[in-house]
Each structure stands twice: as structure tokens, then as C-alpha cells.
A and B are shown apart, each in its own frame.
Chain A
Amino acid sequence: MLRVKLQIDAAGISSRLFGTGETVESVEIDNALPVAGGSVFLFLTVTLDGDRSETRLSDRLSEAEVVDVSKATANGHGYHVGVVTDLSDASVLSLLTENEAVPHRIVCRATHLDVVASVRDWSHLKTLADDIEAEHGALELIGTTQTEAIGFPLGGTKIKRSLMGKLSDEQLDVLEVAYRMGYFKVPQEATATEIAREMDISRSTLSERLRRVEHNLCALLFGPYQ
């Protein structure tokens, strides 16, 4: 089995998002579910250059039926967006699945789509490439590697989403600041005192929040604490 990375011109709902007037850095398809009548329920992660309100982002996507918009990170500029739209808005995903290729990542970055997918073999790659070229024009193969396992289809952020649901905003905030300041690095790049000062909270509050984060992560991994 071959895992391939390829690039094609931006297309579909991801590219439309770049034309909404917001400064979009990337749009990734996390998941897709079929909806009756040739539509598809797309779960996207949209990364912008700054904070926006969920309402504003939702208004910008008025062409599609926006089901949900929520912030993806406490301090970043990512948003989880759920939309119901025409299947043609996810044409590259359709081409991959129609050709029995396994899509792993589909990310739009302004002018192009980065696609990572698994195919059975060289012949399968050629068939898929022909179909993509027929619908999307030029295709650029970026890289390939051999793989024994099929891997996970899309949804690279699934774990992230699960974690988000288990942690409060306060806990996410303290975790992200600690992570970004290098608290978890070895050797440590910031002490608990420095993190607490940065967040304007006491050291004991910081410690308590981090312990709650650890507890919740363990609950997610190992089940509820008895």
C-alpha cells in the first residue's frame, strides 16, 4: 500500500471560505457524512489570522447551511465548523472514495489543496491521478511512502475534539499557556511560578488546574476513576 501526498488547485467549499473576506490560513476537512439528496455534512477546522465571533463566521458562510461553529482552541484562532452542503463542494473527497482510496488529510491553503491518501499500488495511483486530473486539472505529486497499515481516515483532530469536550475553558487555557511556555519540555523552559505569574493566578491555583487536566486526561484514557 502506498501513502501519497499530492497538490491540486483549491476547489470546493474550502476554497470558497477563502473568498469570504476573512483572512483564512487553512481549512481542513475533518470528517464527512452523507446526507440524503446529494448533500454532505462536512466537519471542518478553519484557522484564521485572528479571533472572530462564532456569529460573524457563521454569517460569512451564508451560502452553506451552517450547523455549528465553535472555537477549537482556547488561545488560538481555529474554529470547528459543521456545514451541510452539496457533494460537489467536497469533490476531491468524493473522487478519493469513489476510487476506493483512503483519504487521510485534505487541507486547503489559499491557492491549493494538500491531499494525503492511501492507495493499493502504483496502478491504483495512476487511476486515481487520471480521475483527479480530469476533474481538477493539473495535479502535483509531492511525495510517497510505503505503508503496511491503512491508517486513520481523515479526522486527525478527533482526539483533539474529544479532549476539548472533557476540559473546561479554564483548564484548556492553563494547559495551552503552560505548553506554549515550555513547562512540559525537558529540560523545562518555564517554571510553575512563571506560568502562574503570566496568567495572573496563584501557584497553587495553577497546580490545582493542571492536576484537574491530568485527571481528566487519565479518565479519557483509562475510564472513570473508581
Chain B
Amino acid sequence: MTTILVVRSAGQASAVREVFDSIAEAGETVHVLRPPTADRVDQLLGDVRSELAREVEYTVDGLTGEGVSELVAFAAERDADRICIGISERTQTGKVRIDDRTQSLLLHDRIAGDLVVGDAVIVLKGLSYDG
């Protein structure tokens, strides 16, 4: 299984914990994508991994721009099974607030699968890619 985790800031510890602890399989390498400005994410990833009992490896790459094509290409290249997007905010009625990048990803015509709303992440799983 291949999992991609999109983290927007170092404040998304619960998203990292949810993916490392209960979504990614033991021994799996999680590909973490973060905006270049989110510089404390590396520290967060190390902290979360060290507090968990299970072995999860990860790589970190920069995500530039608000466009989503780069993300889809990254996922397609690795034939990723899952893309997890850290939830930054919820609406008053408890809905996960969707930012521009997440909307572009959800409505992208190259990618399909199942959408599950977790506690701290939106999980796109069972992914398939066109083209």
C-alpha cells in the first residue's frame, strides 16, 4: 500500500497521528507533502513517530502552488492507494471545511475512488488514475 499525506502546517499533529497510527499499515512508507512555508512539519513528523509504538517510515516533499495537478501527478507516479488530507477547520455544523486545493482534488477528472471523512483527515482511498 502507498499512502500520501498532505499537511498544511505544523499545527496538524492529529492528522499525522491518525495517518501514522491507524491508516498507514505497519512498515509502510508514508509520503508526506507539505507547503515549503510549513517548515516545522519535519519536527512534528519526528515527534509523532517517536511517540507511536508502531514502525512507520516517511518521506517529505515540498508541495508548491495551490494547483492540484502536481499532487495528482505525484500520486499517479507512485500509484498511491490513498491520499490523506489534513483537516484544518470544520463548519458550525461539523462539516469539514474544504479549501481550494482539496476542492480541485475532489473534482479532478484524472482520479477516482472512495472518500471517507476521518477525525482529522479526509481519506481518498481505493484510488485509480486515468491517463
A144 to B124, CA, bound (A): 13
Place the interface of chain A in its size category. Answer: 10 to 19
- Asked whether any CB of chain B lies closer than 8 Å to the CB of A3, the reply is yes
Contact of A143 among B97, B112, B113, B115 (CB under 8 A): B97
Q: Is the CB of B98 within 8 A of A143?
A: yes
Interface contact tally, CB-CB below 8 A: 55
Q: Does A214 contact B (CB under 8 A)?
A: no
Task: Using A2-B115, A121-B115 as known contacts, say yes or no to A126 and B107 having CB atoms under 8 A apart.
Answer: yes
For B104, the closest partner residue in chain A by CB is A141
Known contacts A125-B106, A126-B107, A129-B107; is A144 also within 8 Å of B113 by CB?
no
Q: Is there a chain A Cβ closer than 8 Å to B95's Cβ?
A: yes
Measured CA separation A7–B103 after assembly (Å): 12
The answer to whether B95 and A125 have CB atoms under 8 Å apart is: no
* Bound: A126/B107 CA distance, A: 6
Q: Is the CB of B98 within 8 A of A141?
A: yes
Interfacial residues of chain A within 1-32, with CB under 8 A of chain B in the complex: 2-5
Establish whether residues B116 and A146, one from each chain, have CB atoms under 8 Å apart when the complex forms: yes
- Judge whether A145 and B96 touch: CB under 8 Å: yes
> Which residue of chain B has the shortest Cβ distance to A122 in the bound complex?
B115
Q: Are B112 and A122 in contact (CB under 8 A)?
A: yes
Closest to B98 in A: A141
**What B residues does A145 contact at CB under 8 A?**
93-96, 117
B106→A122 contact, CB < 8 A: yes
The answer on a CB contact under 8 Å between A142 and B115 is: no
Asked if B77 CB lies within 8 Å of chain A CBs, one says no
Residues of B within 8 A of A129 (CB): 107
Q: Does B91 contact A123, Cβ atoms closer than 8 Å?
A: no
B residues engaging A (CB < 8 A)?
A: 90-91, 93-98, 102-103, 106-107, 109, 112-117, 122, 124
Residues of A within 8 A of B (CB): 2-5, 121-123, 125-126, 129-130, 140-146
